[in-house]
């Protein structure tokens, strides 16, 4: 489409509005921070890309670059896509934010979508997934399943996203067992299988009987399986690594979102904005509830349904901060801005937040 | 049959010119085979890899952005290595230099004046040099192996940056995300020719440093001192050169340049500090230093070539669908060919069958 | 719980011990191979792949050692035969290894692997408190301990070990005495490759039986540090590896107990400790000189 137009106009205009000729292929491009076979974050996005190809077929063409370092390398990769006739570019790491914005300003006719950030522009949207909804369900399950009433959390880095997840898990567990305890270990990595395994072992040796993780590798699930301890998967269904111990997993299903957004580009209805979707929209799904009694499974499904219908918001008061001061009053629901910048624990967590 | 190396009495001029081409030819052949095996059109892939990135102005700018830190670091390292000091911690000095220079825009964002950038550059240089002084002091005072101490300090620097950016230096308006506030306009290293791309002055610093150090190494007594002490400490001592002083000089120089590289990167290319500011430039620069044969001018060429392989690798991912893994393997192959090719400068290679070799030895013994 | 912690420490220490024991022999022969990380990751991907395809973890271990050796031969050919710079060649080997392993391992991602089972001796393993610690570890853990004893005995009690050390201390005089310097260095480099391969296999067959890209995550570099930390003495390498393992595991437990120490500070402790130990051991010049291979990193070409 673009080439034809460029030839017709014989001008240097590189990009034209994507809606101009709907019957032509739209080119959707993806910039990944890790290898597309990392078994976690990036692989989930790449599955989303493949889902797009499957769903939209002839209407779309996709391309990707993997293992792009944050910083100047990212800006170059994004600009290359903008110059390579991409109609929409998805950049899938928080650290790509400023690079995406810089390129977006220079290529007003290309659309950009940046995952997990907070800066937007005329032609740049941000998108994110309400992972905390899944973590709340996990917490509810843990509250029922843990005999000792104590879970272990293998965490990556103390950024708002992770802190929010820990709090959601805890609130879910407390909704079942008000005395629930949670131990947190910061592995200080997103992806170091051996180190994550060490962290899980340390937690188990300290006596927790349920493991959950906010790091990317399957190691914690695998270690838990070896020790006969129940665990939750992360980013993808990790049942292969714990067939008898995985309770459920938060599965990132970006594909549904990508299809919707690329279809909007085809239809000419694409709008920028800060988009934060959840279980209801299908940007994340729960892996099958396994290895638990039927009543717990029923509770989990019920919780999921309530979150989907909007009847239940995980961060609903009364909730106190870790030091006991009130945060949310009875019935009050946390606003998105506070959640996205969360840097405090809720009451009951047995850890001191670093920094 | 075995391979035998015979040292040339003098460096072969022919081969110092020829060896890069031999390496290039081998790379092209091996690359073509590799791509053919993977079912890609070899000619087109090689074209995308090596030529396409050079065809557009913006891409040339990107080449300069990518090469700038590599060149700056590798120039300092080449002098350091020539003096027989093994600073492999340039990555850490890069980080500390960047952090030292960032003190102004991060901690004193209201201090906005034209003087900020020059101060930042000086602080970056001082920071890198100071961090490199640690292994130098340990080596001179306690005879501690500098390869290991400088390497260990890399990890410490990485973790220190990580902690600062996630903690004390976190952007107060950044929703608690791990990055500092963006540098204000006076703290940004300007672009060379901003109308056509974003190459910044770091690249110019690299070229100037290369010329300066080339001059020092070939025309000054200090350069001579470095080479003598590097090749034979004993001879150097007889000539009255101080080993300790050269250790400091080599480390401070390479640290200062690494620090300048770090500062240029954050102030020219990134515009803020983040938990990771270098995809391993300090280590890649070691390879660049050797590819450039420890010659400051050679380093410039080597830095550009290595930067080209990164750009080409990306281009090949996008337009040919070559996997990032293949790109990295291909890069590894290039390095090996170039390293091996340089052998011919210093040595002749003979293929000898075992008895003949024995006979040769015998005849030599008689002489 | 104490026993369990000690077992995890042994698991954390074993891959480091294996890789550094190999590198120790390489460095004792006067060669500095910075490609440990690359050889290790090749061992990890080979070990996982072969074990997954054949179903036998032992075949995986065996194959990993062979591939580690072959990969080290590439380094050997360049640095020993073609006399390229060892530092640059070692670094390039690491880059190549990381790339090649992820290329080979692309189809292994997300598959649960085969685990190399732990030892289980009736009665002995069931002794309370110490049974599992002494009699219930994985076989490679015992092999790494035997390797330490073997290397120590070889280097300091055998004639061949003396020869190897003499090559590392002064290759010119060793050559003058008629010792085949290059051949000995080749053998040492190959031994180092095999050990690094085993260390990699340990990661993907015992530590976490799965394949993950870049799963060595810098452990090859730590192994290099340990060799110098131990001033090229095998038993000190053993002590260093276990100390490092203890610090790594200990900080995770400190966190689980709720001590809010910045994880970055804890993570940097082992490196700072290495520097301090390096300073302490190298203050005594005579002692360092005795242990440090004087020709370390220097190229050797028979001078005629």
C32 neighbourhood in chain B, CB within 8 Å: 147
- Confidence tier at B28 by pLDDT (50, 70, 90): confident
- Confidence tier at B319 by pLDDT (50, 70, 90): confident
Q: What is the pLDDT of residue A11?
A: 35
H/E element holding B238? helix B233-238
Distances (CA, A) of A33 to A78, A92, A124, B94, B279: 12, 7, 19, 22, 12
Q: Which residue of A has its CA nearest to B279?
A: A69
Phi, psi of A111 (to 5 degrees): -100, 140
Chain centre to alpha carbon of residue C265: 25
Would you say residue A48 has pLDDT above 60?
Answer: yes
Alpha-carbon gap, residue B263 to B274, rounded angstroms: 13
Q: What is the pLDDT of residue B363?
A: 38
Query: Considering only CA atoms, which of A107, A79, A90, A75 is closest in space to residue A26?
Result: A90
* Contact criterion met (CB below 8 Å) for C40 and C219: yes
Q: Is A216 exposed, middle or buried (CB count within 10 Å of its CB: 0-12, 13-18, 19+)?
A: buried
Arithmetic mean of pLDDT, B308-337? 86
Q: Is A308 on the interface with B (CB under 8 A)?
A: no
3-state helix, strand, coil in chain B (%, to 5): 70, 5, 25
Q: What is the pLDDT of residue C264?
A: 72
Question: What distance separates the 2 farthest-apart alpha carbons in chain A?
Answer: 73
- Determine, for residues C84 and B342 on separate chains, whether the beta-carbon distance falls below 8 Å: yes
* Domain ranges across chain C: 2-291
* Domain ranges across chain B: 59-293
Alpha-carbon gap, residue B137 to B251, rounded angstroms: 10
| pLDDT per residue as tens digits for the range C99-123 | 899 889 988 887 878 888 877 777 7
The shortest C-alpha distance from A211 to chain B (Å) reads 26
| pLDDT per residue as tens digits for the range C253-298 | 888 887 766 767 777 777 777 778 777 777 766 666 667 777 777 7
Q: What is the pLDDT of residue C212?
A: 86
Quote the mean pLDDT of chain B.
Answer: 87
Other Cβ atoms less than 10 A from the Cβ of A23: the count is 8
Alpha-carbon gap, residue B91 to B282, rounded angstroms: 4
Q: Is C283 on the interface with B (CB under 8 A)?
A: yes
Q: What is the pLDDT of residue C206?
A: 93
Would you say residue A5 has pLDDT above 50?
Answer: no
| Contacts of C among chains (3+ CB pairs under 8 A) | A, B
Other Cβ atoms less than 10 A from the Cβ of B81: the count is 23
| Helices B90-107, B57-82: inter-axial angle, 10-degree rounding | 120
H/E element holding B234? helix B233-238
Name the interface residues of A facing C (CB cutoff 8 Å). 35, 37-39, 43, 152, 183-189, 191-199, 201-203, 205-207, 217-219, 222-223, 226, 236, 240-241, 350-355
- Confidence tier at B279 by pLDDT (50, 70, 90): confident
Percentage of residues of chain C with pLDDT beyond 90: 50
Would you say residue B95 has pLDDT above 50?
Answer: yes
Q: Is B155 exposed, middle or buried (CB count within 10 Å of its CB: 0-12, 13-18, 19+)?
A: buried
B178 neighbourhood in chain A, CB within 8 Å: 157, 159
* Contact criterion met (CB below 8 Å) for C5 and C172: no
* Domain ranges across chain A: 22-129+254-277, 132-252+315-340
- Determine, for residues B336 and C87 on separate chains, whether the beta-carbon distance falls below 8 Å: no
Alpha-carbon gap, residue A287 to B170, rounded angstroms: 36
- Confidence tier at A24 by pLDDT (50, 70, 90): confident
H/E element holding C4? helix C2-28
* SS3 call for A26: strand
A72 neighbourhood in chain B, CB within 8 Å: 65-66, 265, 269-270
Size of interface A-B (CB pairs under 8 A): 81
The shortest C-alpha distance from C281 to chain A (Å) reads 30
Query: Considering only CA atoms, which of B153, B151, B77, B147 is closest in space to residue C292?
Result: B147
Q: Is B17 exposed, middle or buried (CB count within 10 Å of its CB: 0-12, 13-18, 19+)?
A: exposed
Would you say residue B326 has pLDDT above 80?
Answer: yes
Percentage of residues of chain A with pLDDT beyond 90: 74
Q: If you search the block for the tokens 């700072």, which residue do you land on?
A: C272
CATH class of the domain whose range is C2-291: mainly alpha
Most A CBs within 10 Å, among C111, C210, C217, C270, to test the A interface? C210
Q: What is the pLDDT of residue C289?
A: 61
- Determine, for residues C252 and A202 on separate chains, whether the beta-carbon distance falls below 8 Å: yes
H/E element holding A166? helix A160-176
Most C CBs within 10 Å, among A204, A206, A237, A239, to test the C interface? A206
What residues contact B12, with CB distance under 8 A and at least 6 apart? Answer: B344, B345, B346
CB proximity under 8 Å: C 227-266 to A: 248-249, 252-253, 255-264
* Rg for chain A, CA atoms, rounded: 21
C96 neighbourhood in chain B, CB within 8 Å: 328-329, 332-333, 335-336
| pLDDT per residue as tens digits for the range B238-276 | 877 888 899 999 999 999 999 999 999 999 999 999 988
Q: Compute the half-sphere exposure of residue A160: CA atoms within 13 Å on the CB side of its CA.
A: 19
Choose between B221 and B210: higher pLDDT.
Answer: B210
pTM for the complete prediction?
0.86
Arithmetic mean of pLDDT, A90-108? 93
Arithmetic mean of pLDDT, C3-20? 92
Alpha-carbon gap, residue A354 to B182, rounded angstroms: 23
Percentage of residues of chain B with pLDDT beyond 90: 46
- Determine, for residues C255 and A184 on separate chains, whether the beta-carbon distance falls below 8 Å: yes
CB proximity under 8 Å: C 70-109 to B: 74, 78, 81-85, 87-89, 91-93, 95-100, 102-103, 106
Other Cβ atoms less than 10 A from the Cβ of A245: the count is 22
Quote the mean pLDDT of chain A.
Answer: 89
- Determine, for residues B156 and C85 on separate chains, whether the beta-carbon distance falls below 8 Å: no
Q: What is the pLDDT of residue C288?
A: 62
Choose between B59 and C294: higher pLDDT.
Answer: B59
**Which two tokens mark A84?**
């390579």
Q: What is the pLDDT of residue B210?
A: 96
- Confidence tier at C136 by pLDDT (50, 70, 90): confident
Q: Is B133 on the interface with C (CB under 8 A)?
A: no
- Determine, for residues B315 and A80 on separate chains, whether the beta-carbon distance falls below 8 Å: yes
Alpha-carbon gap, residue C54 to C59, rounded angstroms: 8
Tell how strand A319-320 and strand A230-235 pair up. unpaired
| Helices A193-205, C2-28: inter-axial angle, 10-degree rounding | 150
Give the helix ranges, DSSP H, for A227-293: 254-267
Most A CBs within 10 Å, among B49, B98, B268, B318, to test the A interface? B318
Q: Compute the half-sphere exposure of residue A313: CA atoms within 13 Å on the CB side of its CA.
A: 14
The shortest C-alpha distance from A294 to chain B (Å) reads 40
Distances (CA, A) of B360 to A253, A309, B24, B356, C303: 71, 89, 34, 6, 13
| pLDDT per residue as tens digits for the range A263-306 | 999 999 999 999 999 999 999 999 999 999 999 999 999 999 99
C262 neighbourhood in chain A, CB within 8 Å: 354-355
Phi, psi of A65 (to 5 degrees): -125, 135
**Which two tokens mark C44?**
């990890």
H/E element holding C283? helix C263-283
Strand-pairing partners, residue B200, are: B191
* Contact criterion met (CB below 8 Å) for A345 and A351: yes
Nearest CB neighbour to A77, from listed B177, B314, B319:
B314
Q: What is the pLDDT of residue C287?
A: 62
Would you say residue B73 has pLDDT above 50?
Answer: yes
Residues B66, B71, B72, B73: is their CA dihedral positive or negative? Answer: positive
Strand-pairing partners, residue A61, are: A27
Arithmetic mean of pLDDT, A19-38? 78
DSSP state, residue B189: P
Q: What is the pLDDT of residue C285?
A: 64
**Which two tokens mark B264?**
């240029």
Would you say residue A93 has pLDDT above 50?
Answer: yes
**Which two tokens mark B126?**
């001082």
Q: What is the pLDDT of residue A7?
A: 40
- Determine, for residues B166 and A65 on separate chains, whether the beta-carbon distance falls below 8 Å: no
H/E element holding C59? helix C57-76
Alpha-carbon gap, residue A25 to A1, rounded angstroms: 8
Quote the mean pLDDT of chain C.
Answer: 87
Would you say residue C57 has pLDDT above 90?
Answer: yes
Arithmetic mean of pLDDT, C137-161? 95
Q: What is the pLDDT of residue A8?
A: 39
CATH class of the domain whose range is A22-129+254-277: alpha beta
* SS3 call for C189: helix
Q: Answer whether CATH 3.30.2320.20 is correct for domain A132-252+315-340.
A: no
Alpha-carbon gap, residue C223 to C22, rounded angstroms: 9
Other Cβ atoms less than 10 A from the Cβ of B26: the count is 17
* Rg for chain B, CA atoms, rounded: 23
What residues contact A50, with CB distance under 8 A and at least 6 apart? Answer: A255
- Determine, for residues C275 and B347 on separate chains, whether the beta-carbon distance falls below 8 Å: no
- Determine, for residues C110 and A39 on separate chains, whether the beta-carbon distance falls below 8 Å: yes
Arithmetic mean of pLDDT, C53-81? 95
Alpha-carbon gap, residue B290 to C265, rounded angstroms: 34
Choose between C132 and B261: higher pLDDT.
Answer: B261
Q: What is the pLDDT of residue A20?
A: 43
CB proximity under 8 Å: B 323-342 to C: 323, 325-329, 331-333, 335-336, 339-340, 342
Distances (CA, A) of A132 to A154, A215, B145: 15, 15, 49
A351 neighbourhood in chain C, CB within 8 Å: 255, 258, 260
Arithmetic mean of pLDDT, A43-52? 94
Give the helix ranges, DSSP H, for A41-130: 41-56, 72-83, 97-106
The shortest C-alpha distance from B317 to chain A (Å) reads 6
Q: What is the pLDDT of residue A9?
A: 40
Query: Considering only CA atoms, which of C162, C193, C219, C173 is closest in space to residue C28?
Result: C162
- Confidence tier at C37 by pLDDT (50, 70, 90): very high
- Confidence tier at A320 by pLDDT (50, 70, 90): very high
Arithmetic mean of pLDDT, B136-145? 86
Arithmetic mean of pLDDT, B57-81? 95
Q: Which residue of C has its CA nearest to A40?
A: C110
My answer on whether omega of the bond before B337 falls inside 30° of 0, hence cis, is no
Percentage of residues of chain A with pLDDT beyond 70: 93
The total number of residues shown for chain A amounts to 355
Size of interface A-C (CB pairs under 8 A): 114
Give the alpha-carbon dihedral of B209, B214, B215, B217, to 10 degrees: 120
Would you say residue B183 has pLDDT above 50?
Answer: yes
Alpha-carbon gap, residue B248 to A3, rounded angstroms: 59
Q: What is the pLDDT of residue A1?
A: 42
Other Cβ atoms less than 10 A from the Cβ of A73: the count is 23
């Amino acid at each position: 489409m673009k080439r034809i137009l460029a030839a017709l106009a014989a001008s240097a205009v590189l990009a034209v509005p994507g809606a101009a000729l709907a019957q032509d292929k739209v080119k959707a491009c993806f910039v990944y921070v890790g290898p597309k076979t990392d078994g976690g974050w990036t692989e989930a996005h790449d599955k989303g890309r493949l889902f797009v190809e499957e769903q939209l077929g002839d209407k779309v063409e996709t391309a990707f670059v993997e293992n792009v370092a944050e910083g100047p390398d990212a800006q170059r990769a994004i600009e290359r896509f903008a110059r390579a006739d991409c109609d929409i570019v998805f950049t899938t790491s928080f650290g790509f934010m400023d690079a995406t914005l810089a390129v977006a300003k220079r290529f007003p006719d290309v659309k950009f979508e940046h995952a997990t950030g907070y800066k937007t522009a005329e032609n740049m949207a941000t998108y994110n997934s309400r992972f905390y909804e899944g973590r709340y369900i996990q917490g509810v399950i843990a509250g029922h399943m843990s005999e000792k009433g104590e879970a272990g959390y293998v965490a990556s880095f103390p950024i708002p996203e992770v802190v929010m997840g820990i709090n959601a898990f805890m609130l879910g567990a407390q909704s079942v067992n008000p005395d629930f305890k949670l131990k947190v270990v910061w592995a200080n990595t997103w992806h170091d299988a051996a180190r994550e395994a060490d962290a899980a072992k340390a937690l188990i040796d300290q006596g927790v009987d349920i493991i959950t993780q906010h790091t990317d590798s399957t190691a914690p699930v695998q270690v838990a399986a070896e020790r006969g301890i129940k665990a939750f998967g992360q980013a993808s269904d990790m049942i292969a690594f714990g067939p008898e111990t995985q309770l459920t997993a938060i599965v990132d299903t970006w594909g549904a979102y990508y299809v919707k957004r690329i279809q909007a580009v085809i239809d000419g209805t694409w709008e920028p904005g800060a988009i934060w979707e959840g279980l209801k929209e299908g940007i994340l799904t729960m892996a099958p509830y396994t290895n638990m009694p039927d009543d717990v499974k029923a509770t989990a499904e019920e919780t999921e349904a309530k979150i989907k219908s909007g009847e239940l918001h995980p961060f609903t008061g009364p909730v106190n901060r870790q030091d006991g001061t009130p945060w949310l009053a009875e019935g009050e629901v946390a606003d998105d801005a506070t959640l996205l910048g969360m840097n405090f624990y809720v009451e009951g967590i047995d850890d001191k937040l670093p920094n | 049959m075995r391979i035998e190396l015979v040292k040339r009495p003098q460096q072969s001029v022919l081969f110092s010119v020829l060896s890069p081409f031999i390496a290039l030819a081998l790379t092209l052949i091996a690359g073509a085979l590799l791509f053919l095996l993977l079912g890609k059109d070899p000619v087109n892939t090689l074209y995308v890899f090596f030529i396409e990135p050079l065809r557009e102005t913006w891409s040339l700018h990107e080449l300069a952005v990518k090469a700038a830190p590599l060149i700056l670091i590798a120039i300092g390292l080449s002098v350091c290595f020539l003096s027989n000091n093994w600073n492999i911690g340039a990555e850490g000095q890069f980080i500390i230099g960047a952090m030292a220079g960032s003190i102004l825009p991060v901690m004193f964002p209201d201090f906005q004046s034209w003087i900020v950038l020059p101060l930042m550059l000086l602080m970056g240089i001082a920071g890198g040099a100071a961090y490199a002084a640690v292994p130098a002091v340990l080596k001179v005072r306690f005879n501690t192996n500098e390869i290991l101490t400088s390497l260990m300090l890399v990890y410490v620097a990485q973790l220190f940056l990580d902690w600062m950016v996630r903690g004390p230096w976190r952007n107060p308006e950044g929703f608690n995300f791990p990055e500092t506030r963006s540098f204000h306009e006076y703290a940004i290293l300007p672009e060379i020719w901003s109308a056509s791309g974003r190459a910044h002055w770091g690249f110019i610093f690299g070229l100037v440093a290369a010329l300066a150090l080339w001059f020092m190494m070939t025309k000054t007594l200090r350069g001579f001192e470095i080479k003598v002490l590097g090749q034979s400490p004993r001879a150097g001592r007889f000539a009255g050169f101080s080993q300790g002083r050269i250790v400091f000089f080599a480390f401070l120089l390479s640290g200062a340049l690494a620090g300048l590289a770090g500062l240029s990167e954050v102030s020219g290319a990134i515009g803020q500090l983040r938990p990771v500011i270098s995809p391993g430039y300090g280590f890649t620069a070691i390879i660049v230093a050797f590819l450039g044969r420890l010659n400051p001018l050679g380093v410039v060429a080597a830095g550009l070539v290595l930067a080209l392989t990164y750009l080409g690798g990306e281009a090949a991912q996008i337009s040919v669908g070559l996997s990032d893994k293949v790109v990295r393997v291909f890069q590894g192959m290039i390095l090996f060919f170039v390293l091996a090719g340089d052998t011919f400068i210093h040595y002749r290679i003979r293929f000898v069958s075992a008895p003949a070799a024995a006979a040769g030895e015998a005849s030599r013994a008689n002489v | 719980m104490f026993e369990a912690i000690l077992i995890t420490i042994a698991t954390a220490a074993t891959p480091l011990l294996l890789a550094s024991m190999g590198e120790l022999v390489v460095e004792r022969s006067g060669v500095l191979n910075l490609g440990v990380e690359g050889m290790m990751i090749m061992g990890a991907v080979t070990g996982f792949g072969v074990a997954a395809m054949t179903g036998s973890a032992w075949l995986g271990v065996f194959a990993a050692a062979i591939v580690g050796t072959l990969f080290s031969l590439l380094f050997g050919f360049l640095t020993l035969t073609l006399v390229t710079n060892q530092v640059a060649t070692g670094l390039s080997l690491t880059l190549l290894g990381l790339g090649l392993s992820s290329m080979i391992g692309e189809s292994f991602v997300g598959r649960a692997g085969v685990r190399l089972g732990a030892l289980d001796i009736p009665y002995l393993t069931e002794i309370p408190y110490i049974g599992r610690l002494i009699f219930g570890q994985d076989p490679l853990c015992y092999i790494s301990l035997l390797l330490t004893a073997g290397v120590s005995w070889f280097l300091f009690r055998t004639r061949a070990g003396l020869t190897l050390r003499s090559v590392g201390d002064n290759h010119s005089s060793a050559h003058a005495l008629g010792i085949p310097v290059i051949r000995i260095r080749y053998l040492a480099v190959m031994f180092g490759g095999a050990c690094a391969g085993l260390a990699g296999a340990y990661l993907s067959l015992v530590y976490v039986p799965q394949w993950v890209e870049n799963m060595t995550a810098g452990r090859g570099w730590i192994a290099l540090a340990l060799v110098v930390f131990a001033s090229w003495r095998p038993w000190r390498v053993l002590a260093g590896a276990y100390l490092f393992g203890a610090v790594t595991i200990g900080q995770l437990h400190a966190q689980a107990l709720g001590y809010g120490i910045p994880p970055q500070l804890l993570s940097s402790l082992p490196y700072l400790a290495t520097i301090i130990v390096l300073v302490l051991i190298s203050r005594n010049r005579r002692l360092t000189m005795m242990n440090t291979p004087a020709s370390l990193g220097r190229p050797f070409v028979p001078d005629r």
